[in-house]
């Protein structure tokens, strides 16, 4: 006699939606759910395994032996196996033992919908019920007014395992981070934090980008509720939460999604579409309805159950193109003869439609490195529907430019100005991310030329240029205080550097840049619109000087930005201005408190009615060496 009682959480409508690829709350049905049936407490299990001929639940409650708890396959050809096991309680470890029709292969798989997983390298799923008393009503109720495209968006990118460690080299827990990390982000003034993948992953060197537990926060740092505490505390401190999300590929680990029921269930069966040669991982079958339901359900899960404010979607370019990282003959054109992956494109559009339809005030952000059109435009006009896109071209050109000795920069003025020719084709986020500080690329500080003073001055200039350039901002942890070495995921950031004045000054600079960004609407109200930017002069390559206006909704909020990209002080430098009055300095990256030389301007500079740079008014200013100065007209 079976120890499994018949039970189902599925209605016929649920099954119809699942088969049609339209069920986007699958986490409420599939997986392990603690319930009470006829007065008996236990757990309902449900798993999708259409190619299986038998599925059993094995776990610490039956000595990991199959046969005691066989699940029943549904009659409706959905491929779902389900049943209720009395007495299985919170914290029980389990897996699915799957017998396949395919050559009688037997596999032991973790639950794709598990809410909690064992601490790696152990691989079992854990029966769990999410239970947290949220205290972020204020944030969630007003989120649309804080998380919009016309609001400051300054993101601190964090790898949870290496931001800071304790007791030698132990991880901080989610609860530790809820104290230390939240206080630090609040102090430095970032508006958002972005977590590199916090879902369960088996292999530390993957940094979390090869997932096996899509619905479970990694147990490395604590329980699921502990992660909720971290998100809750961030929200209570007015900090938005973005999570990296990886629908582009998954690893081949034996307990994971690969070859799940003895067939290519989650991955595309054609290796040309289902295997990623660079990452040696499997690619989802975006054309399979049930897989699409799995992925979109997973995206909505984090927004629903964990109150997350945005998803940064990893490796979108690899999804969009059939020939991504493939040689001729290793890919097959689509039905129109093109290289676009039409099924992945349709999936991304539907993903974004569902996210924005179901959750007010959230954002999706594409990490997309090609010139694929309209990534951050609405689907109803033919776009992919993302809220923002990483501006990889800006990142590459800017770092290439700043790496050059200032004496040569006059020959490369176009490198630093080119971004403005396409800055408003998408809603761009400017990323100086983890990818730029690994694999021999050096830290951002390590790229800067010159002696110690010049390296820090260059970095201050780069950051101030970044914060006054149109678009949202993203800095990887450690960049805000001038981390000297490349990022190492196996250890803490070099916090001892803050004992030194230049590094301390860099952190102060970033804190003040975040204040500048938050406090001046001209820097964010029209950050994705050509109306929010106007060149004063981009052609002074001889002096390597740039000048431009940032504009908000009101002209009185406009800011004048002047960048000196050489270590030569520019005295009596005349700048064309849009109006008369007085020029007041609002920011100067050369202040001594940042480690600068202290070259500055008078509190108020009279504006003359003298035509200059095709403008009716102008003023003479002093531009400090390797610095950016920001003014306002009063």
Q: Which residues are catalytic?
A: 314, 367
Nearest-CA neighbor of 375 among 397, 349, 401? 349
- Taking only Cα atoms into account, the Rg of the chain, rounded to an integer number of angstroms, comes to 27
Please report which helix (H) or strand (E) contains residue 125, including its range.
strand 125-126
Six-digit token pair at 381? Answer: 């006009």
Q: Are 228 and 236 in contact (CB under 8 A)?
A: no
CA distance 116 to 215: 8
Count the alpha carbons within 13 Å of 452 in the hemisphere toward its beta carbon: 7
Question: At a CB cut-off of 8 Å and minimum separation 6, what does 451 contact?
Answer: none
CA distance 145 to 203: 38
CA distance 236 to 218: 23
Question: At a CB cut-off of 8 Å and minimum separation 6, what does 240 contact?
Answer: 143, 146, 147, 191, 192, 193, 234, 309, 310
CA distance 347 to 248: 11
Nearest-CA neighbor of 344 among 314, 378, 321? 321
CA distance 101 to 50: 10
In sign, the C-alpha dihedral spanning 11, 15, 20, 26 is positive
Question: At a CB cut-off of 8 Å and minimum separation 6, what does 509 contact?
Answer: 460, 463, 464, 589, 594
Helix (H, G, I), strand (E, B) or coil at 179: helix
Nearest-CA neighbor of 31 among 110, 97, 109, 113? 113
Question: At a CB cut-off of 8 Å and minimum separation 6, what does 54 contact?
Answer: 70, 98, 99
């Amino acid at each position: 006699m079976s120890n499994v009682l018949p039970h189902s959480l599925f209605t016929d409508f649920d099954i119809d939606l699942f088969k049609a690829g339209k069920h986007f709350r699958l986490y409420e049905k599939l997986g392990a759910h603690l319930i009470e049936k006829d007065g008996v407490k236990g757990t309902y299990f449900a798993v999708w395994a259409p190619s299986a001929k038998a599925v059993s639940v094995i776990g610490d409650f039956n000595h990991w032996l199959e046969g005691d708890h066989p699940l029943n396959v549904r009659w409706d050809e959905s491929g779902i196996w389900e049943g209720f096991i009395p007495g299985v309680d919170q914290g029980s470890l389990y897996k699915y033992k799957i017998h396949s029709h395919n050559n009688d292969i037997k596999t032991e798989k973790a639950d794709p919908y598990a809410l909690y997983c064992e601490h790696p390298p152990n691989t079992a799923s854990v029966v769990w019920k999410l239970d947290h008393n949220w205290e972020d009503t204020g944030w969630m109720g007003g989120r649309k007014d804080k998380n919009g495209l016309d609001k400051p968006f300054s993101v601190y990118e964090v790898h949870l395992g290496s931001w800071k460690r304790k007791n030698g080299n132990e991880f901080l827990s989610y609860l530790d981070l809820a104290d230390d990390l939240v206080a630090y982000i609040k102090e430095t003034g970032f508006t958002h934090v972005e977590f590199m993948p916090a879902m369960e992953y088996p292999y530390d060197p993957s940094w979390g980008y090869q997932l096996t537990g899509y619905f479970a926060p990694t147990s490395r740092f604590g329980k699921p509720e502990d992660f909720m505490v971290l998100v809750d505390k961030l929200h209570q401190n007015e900090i938005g939460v973005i999570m990296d999300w990886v629908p582009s590929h998954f690893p081949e680990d034996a307990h994971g999604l690969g070859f799940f029921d003895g067939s290519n269930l989650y991955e595309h069966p054609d290796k040309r579409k289902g295997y990623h040669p660079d990452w040696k991982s499997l690619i989802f079958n975006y054309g399979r309805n049930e897989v699409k339901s799995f992925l979109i359900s997973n995206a909505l899960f984090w927004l629903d159950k964990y109150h997350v404010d945005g998803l940064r979607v990893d490796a979108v370019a690899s999804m969009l193109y059939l020939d991504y990282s493939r040689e001729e003959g290793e890919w097959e054109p689509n039905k129109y003869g093109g290289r676009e992956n039409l099924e992945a494109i349709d999936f991304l559009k539907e993903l974004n439609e569902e996210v924005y339809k179901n959750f007010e005030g959230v954002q999706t952000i594409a990490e997309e490195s090609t010139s694929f059109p309209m990534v951050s435009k609405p689907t109803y006009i033919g776009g992919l529907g993302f809220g923002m896109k990483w501006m990889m071209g800006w990142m590459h050109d800017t770092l290439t430019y700043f790496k050059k000795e200032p004496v040569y920069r006059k020959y490369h003025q176009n490198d630093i100005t080119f971004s403005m020719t396409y800055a408003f084709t998408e809603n761009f986020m400017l990323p100086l991310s983890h990818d730029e500080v690994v694999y021999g690329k050096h830290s951002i500080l390590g790229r800067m030329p010159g002696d110690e003073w010049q390296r820090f001055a260059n970095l201050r200039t780069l950051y101030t240029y970044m914060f006054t350039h149109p678009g949202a901002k993203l800095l990887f942890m450690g960049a805000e205080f001038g981390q000297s070495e490349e990022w190492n995921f196996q250890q803490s950031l070099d916090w001892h550097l803050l004992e030194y004045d230049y590094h301390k000054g860099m952190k102060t600079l970033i804190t003040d840049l975040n204040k500048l960004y938050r406090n001046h609407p001209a820097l964010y109200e029209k950050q994705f619109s050509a109306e929010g930017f106007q060149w004063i002069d981009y052609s002074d390559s001889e002096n390597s000087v740039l000048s431009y206006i940032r504009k908000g909704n009101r002209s009185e909020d406009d800011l004048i930005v002047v960048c000196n990209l050489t270590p030569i002080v520019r005295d009596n430098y005349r700048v064309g201005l849009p109006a008369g009055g007085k020029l007041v300095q609002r920011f100067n990256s050369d202040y001594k408190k940042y480690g600068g030389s202290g070259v500055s301007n008078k509190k108020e500079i009279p504006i003359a009615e003298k035509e200059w740079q095709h403008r009716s008014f102008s003023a003479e200013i002093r531009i400090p060496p390797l610095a950016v100065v920001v003014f306002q007209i009063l």
